[in-house]
Structure 1
């Protein structure tokens, strides 16, 4: 998920408005929006886990020789069918590589946000301690 999205799992004006409207129209809609705001950031990892499990399941079917029920039928042209299978396999590998890169970036961005939050918190605590001891930020008595 990008942090630029209008409807993201955070307390933004749009999500708050949708939650209020949801409660006014039908209370389960508002409750669902509240759950999305609070726990929506976990949906991406859930989706990734489901995709990974599904890929493993269908990969196991492929290894056992069971036909993939969602695969397209063969055309009868052996050369074309082989080429198509190679291309689909290559695209599937590329999709997995892109999903892994996206997961790595999400992890990196999450760590950056955590580090920024930690830095802001440390600055707040230092300012608070300085105020409590009667000093200003530059170390001079107040």
Structure 2
């Protein structure tokens, strides 16, 4: 009998902000509050930023990340590392693994097609806005030329 070991998928070298966030999450809500108060004491925009971040990420009013992590061990943590590589691990069932690989490949193709569609939409919108700008510019230049001829 072997015990299941749960690993969190984390980047090899997270930035100092991610490390600080993980460190504060490990110590819970009081650490976040202390960091916010110290931010207000030393440089008020930092405290304001931490307050806004705590409210936006639901660290202020929701259950603490430590409680969530303990409760939802299999689903990941409060951090942004929860999109791990578990989907690519083989399950041991070859039929299911083939189905999963086919489905993931199909979803990746759909995502790529959708992103290309969005890019074409953005380009069309940009082109129409540019054409409208050029038309307005030509119209205003023609109006200025007509006014000079009238004077």
For this structure pair, what is the TM-score category when the shorter chain's length is used for normalisation? Answer: 0.3 to 0.5
Structure showing greater Rg: 2
Please, what TM-score do these two structures have when normalized by structure 2? 0.38
Q: Which one scores higher on RCO, CA 8 angstroms, separation ≥ 6?
A: 2
